[in-house]
Structure 1
Amino acid sequence: MTAAPKPIMLWAVPRSRSTAFLRVMMERGDLEVAHEPFSYLQDDGRFSFAGRTVTSPVELLDVMLEVSASGRRVFAKDTSDYTYTPLFEDERLFTDVIHTFMIREPESAIASHYAMNPEATLDEYGFEYLHAIFEAVRSATGETPLVIDGDDLVARPEVTVRAYCEHVGLEFVPEALRWDPGEQAGWRRTNRWHAEVAQSSGLVARAPTRRETPATNEHLRRVADHHRPYYEALARARPSAA
């Protein structure tokens, strides 16, 4: 008897283009997709997924496993500006879920995050905690998880998505790389963070608007200096870095 496919988690540093990647997964049509479920759960105290409302990370993991076991595989992406301690105390997270990671060059990600939230704390920029999640998964599974880069995603969309699909056991669907522009119900609560994806119709790099960067802002330089070692450690796990 063939085992049910495991849910797929994409853990991403904020502003890494992870919502654009999630949009590709949505466009496939064969997955039950969750946008930042653990983050929303922390903010709101509840999260609705696949017709169920849950109030704890363990409950949410229960539902994700049940839905995947029923035949509709789950894909969820979440960001590392929150911490998920209770979730990571559940062994099933390591044994029954496939974990993947997404990064982006720190100067660009940090500048984009600061433009959206200039009050962000050092931890909310997320590289350090993403690295901690990565190491927890590697330690628990004995395997190095897949890491993809948001800049690779827009520079080489087909190659990047095809390799990701192969790694997690999905058929590559080239048609999913294009979509109709528009907001999505799953991220309506945080629409302003996803405006570029909502206005897009595919994976294309856009020139950034004029903004503060680590090169022009001393505070952002310190943020980038703190997080860069964690980015570099994660970047070494990218397939192209092997």
Structure 2
Amino acid sequence: MSETIRICLWSGPRNISTATMRSFENRHDCEVWDEPFYGPYLVKTGLDHPGRDTILANVPKDAAEIASRCAGEAPTGAPLFFQKHMCQHMLDDIPRDWMAACRHVFLIRDPAEVAASWIATTGSVTQDDLGAIRQSELYEYACQLTGRAWPVIEGADVLADPQAMLTALCAALEIPFDAAMLSWPAGPRDSDGVWAPFWYKRVEASTGFEPPQPSPHDLPETALPVVAACRPHYEALKARKLTA
């Protein structure tokens, strides 16, 4: 591969997005970028996320500059440039035209499970926190912009059969499958966002995709309206999801 292939993973929170980033980073031909638009998102929303001050002191905050880098080459020239994006970070005034230069994959999870996990961590949840509505919007935008339908994968499917699902995903993205994607060394990575100490404990202990487990978190009744608002968008993408 002589030309940079840029792959954007679009996910909501509390999914296997970081494990998927680990999977791609373990390839010999791939460099990753962890949540490039997190800085602009925090600046524009004013949200007090864990480690906010540290994050803003260490990440780029100019959305136009970030967009240009997303459409460019991997910093060290790797053939594959994998970018892990959180859908909720793509606010209305964040540039999107750069997405034409990329290939895309959309990672979904049942919003009830996402909400329960998010609340267990933060204490509350909103529609915007889950990112499902924005994810559906970004899917339609990416498909219209590029003139093709991009793969949708469900986290539970990847966990149930990593080799089959990653093989199918690589085929859909028109890149070769690499068995190195199935496991990785435990521990942190220099490529992890500076927010890793607050969110990545479990993935830092992992060496591969773990078998799917029932969610250990209960969903409070107060979160049901948020889940109900997100569910049609999740179901619409689920109907398009890739199978092995």
Contact kept? 1:58, 1:86, Cα under 8 Å:
no
3-state SS of 2:176 partner: coil
What residue in structure 2 maps to residue 115 of structure 1?
Answer: 120
Alpha-carbon separation, structure 2, partners of 1:210 and 1:71: 39
Deviates more, 1:172-181 or 1:194-203: 172-181
Distance 1:3 1:210, change over 3 A: closer
What residue in structure 2 maps to residue 16 of structure 1?
Answer: 15
Letter in 2 for 1:111: A
What residue in structure 2 maps to residue 201 of structure 1?
Answer: 207
Letter in 2 for 1:78: H
What residue in structure 2 maps to residue 51 of structure 1?
Answer: none
What RMSD, in angstroms, separates the aligned Cα atoms of the two structures? 2.5
TM normalised by structure 2 equals 0.83
Instruction: Name the % identity.
Output: 26
1:60 pairs with one of 60, 63, 66: 66
Alpha-carbon separation, structure 2, partners of 1:167 and 1:5: 17
Distance 1:159 1:46, change over 3 A: farther
Gaps of at least 5 residues in structure 1 are 49-53
Deviates more, 1:58-67 or 1:150-159: 58-67
Letter in 1 for 2:205: Q
1:1-242 map, 5 Å? 4-43=3-42, 54-68=60-74, 70=77, 72-89=79-96, 91-94=97-100, 96-185=101-190, 186-205=192-211, 207=213, 210-213=216-219, 217-240=220-243
Contact kept? 1:99, 1:145, Cα under 8 Å:
yes
Distance 1:167 1:47, change over 3 A: farther
**Count of matched residue pairs:** 230
Q: Per-residue displacement from partner, 1:67-109 (whole Å, max 9, x unpaired)?
A: 24955321001112323334445x3322x11121100122222
Distance 1:178 1:187, change over 3 A: same
3-state SS of 2:9 partner: strand
Contact kept? 1:47, 1:55, Cα under 8 Å:
no
